[in-house]
Chain A
């Protein structure tokens, strides 16, 4: 065994995993080679110094008490966070559920029954950016005035009025929640309201005659790229 082979076995020797003939050859080399013997001793001493280290300073006596106090006081704060989450989250969840129920609940039956009466989504005024509850309600009411027999729009207008007032009355964050809600509602409305009731045939670009001006306004003025697309692309 030469020095290189011997040094390659240092790890195995120090980890007590050197056995058999290899261990004998290794030992024989150490006896004969002062250089390897010294290097090995150096590593053994380094390990011994690290292992027997007891010089780390002690933690102060209050360490445990401080920690226990911190650890056990945390749960007291959790209910506050939970209640805040509940306070904000519950109205949001209600609003989300409401949107789903209003927009998707029995939608097929309702739309089939009112195919002739339901106007294209453009009558809801999506050419204007809607950021508040009032704007949304105004749009829905406008649409309702043009389609007074549309049961779906009637329900939506009424539910919006009742629930939004309740949410605003219940929480300080109600208004901001309803802004989000209104944007979501608009997107869903665009998707959900059928547009197969055009009064004029669509032209090659997908615009229909009676809605040309409104479509032009949408493309020029709306900040919502989805709202700017023709209804045929949305559906």
Chain B
């Protein structure tokens, strides 16, 4: 697999610029659509890919989310960010796809899990044990329920607040906080035994915390 590192570090689009592009996209302006896609595609893809762990499905979900967003762009509420709207659509499509996939196979596709790829692991920590812990962390994240996983990814990776996550997940804020609490508790339960086995766990944690 072509594992290029994602370039997600670009600054969020200015609000007024975003609204201007949305207005133009409503008039089927191809350049405005292109700008909106380019501004959000990689963040969205990273989120969906982490939810789905399948490159092909994640790409299809992203395409679907963008097309649905553009098809219904007249109903876009300018009180929200375009990204929030896009993530809401993508999350809904992701859940549907996950349900279908589980109904069909009962299995997830782990073959494209980047954390199992040696060259990617070196980004975080030099030591083998730290890499192993990182891998275990991702495997534990993958064992969370879809809602818990989405909450963790949006909270930590996308740096979203509970209110915005609640909008995307279409649940109350209290439910988002509950997802986060349960997710942390589950991660702790899953990772504690792993850490017990590792020698020098405090050093590893220090290394990963960087």
Contacts and interface: CB of A to CB of B under 8 A. Distances in A.
Given A39-B188, A50-B152, A11 B59 contact: no
Interface stretch (B16-24, B35-43, B88-96, B103-111): B35-43
A15 B156 CA distance: 11
Nearest to A52: B124
Contacts of A54: 5-6, 8, 123
Contacts of A50: 137, 141, 152-153, 156-157
Contacts of A59: 41-42, 45, 59, 62
Interface in B140-154: 140-141, 152-153
A42 interface: yes
Interface in B151-181: 152-153, 156-157, 159, 177, 180-181
A77 to B, nearest CB: 11
Nearest to B43: A56
A1 interface: no
B6 A55 contact: yes
Interface stretch (A61-69, A84-92, A181-189, A226-234): A61-69
Interface residues of A, number: 35
A38 B202 contact: yes
A170 B116 CA distance: 66
Contact of A64 (B1, B41, B159, B192): B41
A79 interface: no
A14 B187 CA distance: 14
A71 B66 contact: yes
Nearest to B204: A45
Interface in B111-149: 112, 114-115, 117, 120, 123-124, 133-134, 137-138, 140-141
Interface of B: 1-8, 28, 30, 33-34, 37-38, 41-42, 45-46, 49-50, 55, 59, 62-63, 66-67, 70-71, 112, 114-115, 117, 120, 123-124, 133-134, 137-138, 140-141, 152-153, 156-157, 159, 177, 180-181, 184, 187-188, 191-192, 195, 201-202, 205-206, 208-210
Interface of A: 10-11, 14-15, 38-39, 41-59, 63-64, 66-68, 70-72, 74-75
